[in-house]
């Protein structure tokens, strides 16, 4: 260790973190974990909320509009929580809301911003054990380190 400078905490972690948040309990845990990681490492945090419009909702009159309004309500709640958190801790963050497939949107945003880390919550849906969750798909992509928060 001769010739090396002093060790500096928080200087070698991720500089761009992308976190998926959908309002579920596990995604809120993932968002809180990502927030803390960004705060401690002075990283840029991009929180992504994807409003998924199920195909079946378009079969009923006004179904897609109802689903879109519900997604917007969740996004508004998340935005308010972020603003409150930002008052207590200095974190450089962006909140991005888009419609579409969560895996596709999170992957694109992570690639566009050259993310050093992607953080998502574990899925609580039983069917995802058979067909795969967003978290599993992100891990299998293998382009960024992915942390799955329970």
Tens-digit pLDDT profile for residues 70-88: 667 777 777 788 777 777 8
Distance CA(138)–CA(145), nearest Å, equals 9
Share of the chain above pLDDT 90, in %: 50
Residue 10 lies inside a defined structural domain of this protein: no
Q: Looking at the predicted structure, is the pLDDT value of residue 37 above 70?
A: yes
* Alpha helix ranges (H) inside 14-62: 25-41
C-alpha torsion sign, points 28, 29, 30, 36: positive
CATH number at residue 33: 3.40.50.620
Average pLDDT over every residue of 96-125: 93
Residue 7 lies inside a defined structural domain of this protein: no
DSSP state string for 72-137: HHHHHHHHHHHHHHHHHS--EEEEEEEES-HHHHHHHHHHHTT-SEEEEEPP--TTHHHH--HHHH
Q: Looking at the predicted structure, is the pLDDT value of residue 91 above 50?
A: yes
Q: What is the mean pLDDT of the chain?
A: 82
Residue 3 lies inside a defined structural domain of this protein: no
Question: Which residues constitute the domain of residue 22?
Answer: 16-148
Average pLDDT over every residue of 112-137: 79
If one counts the domains in the chain, the total is 1
Residue 35 lies inside a defined structural domain of this protein: yes
């Amino acid at each position: 260790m001769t010739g090396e400078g002093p060790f500096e905490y928080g200087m070698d972690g991720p500089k761009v973190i992308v976190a998926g948040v959908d309002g579920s309990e596990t995604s809120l845990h993932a968002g809180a974990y990502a927030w803390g990681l960004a705060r401690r490492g002075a990283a840029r945090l991009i929180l992504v909320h994807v409003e998924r419009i199920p195909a079946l909702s378009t079969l009923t009159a006004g179904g897609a509009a109802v689903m879109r309004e519900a997604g917007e309500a969740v996004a508004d709640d998340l935005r308010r929580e972020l603003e409150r958190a930002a008052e207590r801790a200095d974190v450089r963050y962006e909140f991005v809301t888009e419609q579409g497939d969560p895996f596709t949107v999170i992957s694109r945003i992570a690639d566009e911003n050259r993310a050093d880390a992607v953080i998502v919550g574990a899925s609580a849906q039983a069917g995802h054990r058979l067909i795969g969750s967003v978290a599993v798909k992100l891990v299998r992509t293998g382009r960024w380190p992915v942390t799955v928060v329970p």
